[in-house]
């Protein structure tokens, strides 16, 4: 693996002279987290780069993870969910085309064909191409799927539309289909706005892709306590509308439920429309990339939710759609295009959720995910107070560490608490990345102070309980 030199903060004069008069044009299709990271890396570090950014949206840099916070009125303004804009990139020298659809790519001729919302179609020639096309929501063609009032939650505009409908007093019943992170968060947001909320998922629990049942059950219980009606292990079959063509109920295998607003949060699939007939694909349709983010075409890179990642837990290529992965992949691609060989160090898929006062965090593989992948694992659980019992402010913490049976290396961890235990998950992320064994954690040097934790720390206590 090639490490990024510290000198890359600014290229050497020799490098600049070598590249002078020999600009390379990089076209980036998609200008959200991954595309932005690639563009910033190229523009800030490699002055020889001519960067063109193309996006079909009206905006860039929208933090979709904040949509539920806005809908639930937990933040003051939706404006703060944008961290950069078109003007910032144009000031750096990039050419930016917003509200422009890429209709096709001629990979042999290195030509990108574009259709702007206004104006004439045009083509752009590239030396290197970066596909940062993201993902698309899964949208089953169930009866009634085209009724008004059925929404998705991906783009900024979609979040605004959901907020508009929830603000309508005539909307009383909200149905959320899909109990992953987005579904659970928007269910809480709708409940905060005074709606009757039902959440549905074919899985037996919420958050089934991230947590084992013992942890997911804590969230299920919390949702129910908060007044959200949970329908897990229950598949949605159809939507039923009124005479105006607006959804009024949702039908499952077990019954029919009122719904004035439906939010479809089943999940996402890689958006591979532009390159699927030319580039090698992973089994789920994502662009297959190496540790440099390079596709099967050496002049094409793929980053973010449209591309694969390397899992340090699995020791294999996989697919994990996260904004953090997107940013890192954009940085890696940018440096490789700029002329600095740089390999990704792999990912763990670290994630977290905070709903109704309950915090869940995880990294790597759950027991369920490991077994599904064919990895033979063991796990150790421990539960205790975060601080000594004499502390007035305290909270219970539940931890699970998952480790491979043969090698004993840590491959996953899950934590649940009303206390903010999120920093602990970073330790486990690094442990997975470095191949640390469960035995190395047994006597880990963790400080103690009553304000923060207990002398018998739940991390080491869990490790000591391992087989």
Helices (H), 128-284: 156-166, 181-192, 213-225
Residues pairing with 274 in the sheet: none
Helices (H), 49-173: 67-71, 86-91, 156-166
State how far Cα 405 lies from the chain centre.
29
How many angstroms separate the CA atoms of 388 and 341, rounded?
49
- Looking at 13, 33, 115, 231, which residue is catalytic? 33
- Number of helices (H), then strands (E), belonging to the chain: the values are 11, 25
Contact indicator for 382, 461 with CB cutoff of 8 Å: yes
Which tokens in the block code for residue 280? 């090698």
Contact indicator for 230, 218 with CB cutoff of 8 Å: no
How many angstroms separate the CA atoms of 297 and 317, rounded?
18
Cross-sheet strand order for the sheet of 95-97 = 95-97, 49-54, 24-29, 128-131, 300-302
Contact indicator for 313, 306 with CB cutoff of 8 Å: no
How many angstroms separate the CA atoms of 389 and 384, rounded?
10
Beta strands in 348-437 (DSSP E): 351-355, 358-364, 377-385, 396-404, 410-417
- Looking at 65, 115, 145, 237, which residue is catalytic? 65
How many angstroms separate the CA atoms of 313 and 343, rounded?
17
Which tokens in the block code for residue 173? 């019943």
Which tokens in the block code for residue 232? 């897990």
Specify whether 246 is catalytic: no
Q: Among residues 243, 261, 236, which one has the least CA distance to residue 138? A: 236
Specify whether 426 is catalytic: no
Q: What secondary structure letter does DSSP report for 305?
A: G
How many angstroms separate the CA atoms of 210 and 372, rounded?
13
How many angstroms separate the CA atoms of 449 and 11, rounded?
46
Residues near 255 by beta carbon (within 8 Å), at least 6 away in sequence: none
Angle between helices 213-225 and 181-192 in degrees, nearest 10: 20
Catalytic residue list: 33, 65
């Amino acid at each position: 693996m090639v490490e990024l030199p510290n000198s890359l903060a600014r290229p050497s004069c020799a490098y600049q002279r070598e590249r002078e008069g020999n600009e390379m044009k990089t076209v980036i299709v998609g200008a959200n987290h991954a595309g932005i990271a690639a563009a910033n890396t190229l523009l800030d570090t490699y002055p020889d780069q001519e960067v063109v950014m193309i996006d079909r949206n009206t905006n860039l840099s929208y933090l979709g993870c904040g949509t539920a916070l806005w809908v639930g009125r937990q933040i003051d303004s939706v404006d703060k969910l944008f961290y950069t804009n078109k003007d910032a990139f144009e000031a750096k020298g990039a050419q930016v085309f917003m509200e422009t659809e890429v209709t096709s790519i001629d990979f042999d001729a290195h030509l990108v064909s574009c259709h702007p919302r206004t104006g004439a179609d045009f083509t752009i020639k590239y030396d290197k191409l970066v596909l940062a096309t993201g993902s698309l929501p899964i949208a089953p063609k169930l009866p009634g799927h085209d009724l008004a009032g059925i929404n998705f939650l991906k783009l900024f505009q979609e979040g605004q539309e959901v907020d508009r409908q929830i603000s309508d007093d005539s909307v009383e019943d909200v149905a959320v289909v899909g109990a992953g992170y987005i579904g659970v968060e928007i269910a809480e947001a709708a409940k905060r706005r005074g709606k009757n909320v039902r959440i549905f998922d074919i899985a037996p629990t919420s958050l089934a892709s991230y947590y084992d049942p013992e942890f997911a059950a804590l969230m299920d219980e919390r949702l129910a306590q908060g007044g959200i009606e949970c329908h897990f292990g229950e598949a949605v079959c159809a939507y039923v509308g009124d005479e105006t063509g607006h959804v009024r109920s949702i039908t499952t295998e077990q019954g029919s439920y009122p719904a004035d607003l439906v939010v479809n949060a089943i999940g996402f699939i890689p958006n591979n429309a532009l390159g699927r007939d030319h580039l090698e694909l992973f089994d789920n349709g994502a662009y297959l990339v190496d540790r440099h983010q390079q596709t099967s075409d050496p002049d094409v890179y793929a980053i973010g939710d449209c591309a694969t990642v390397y899992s340090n837990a699995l020791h294999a290529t996989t697919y994990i759609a996260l904004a953090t992965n997107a940013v890192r992949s954009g940085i890696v691609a940018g440096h490789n295009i700029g002329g600095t060989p740089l390999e990704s160090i792999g990912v763990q898929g670290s994630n977290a959720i905070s709903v109704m006062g309950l915090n869940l965090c995880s990294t790597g593989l759950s027991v369920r995910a490991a077994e599904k992948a064919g990895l033979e694992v063991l796990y150790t659980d421990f539960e205790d107070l975060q601080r000594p019992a004499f502390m007035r402010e305290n909270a219970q913490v539940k931890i699970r560490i998952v480790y491979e049976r043969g090698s004993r290396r840590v491959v996953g961890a899950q934590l649940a608490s009303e206390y903010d235990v999120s920093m602990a998950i970073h330790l486990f992320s690094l442990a997975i990345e470095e191949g640390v064994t469960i035995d190395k954690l047994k006597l880990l040097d963790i400080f103690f102070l009553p304000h923060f934790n207990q002398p018998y720390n739940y991390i080491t206590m869990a490790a000591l309980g391992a087989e």
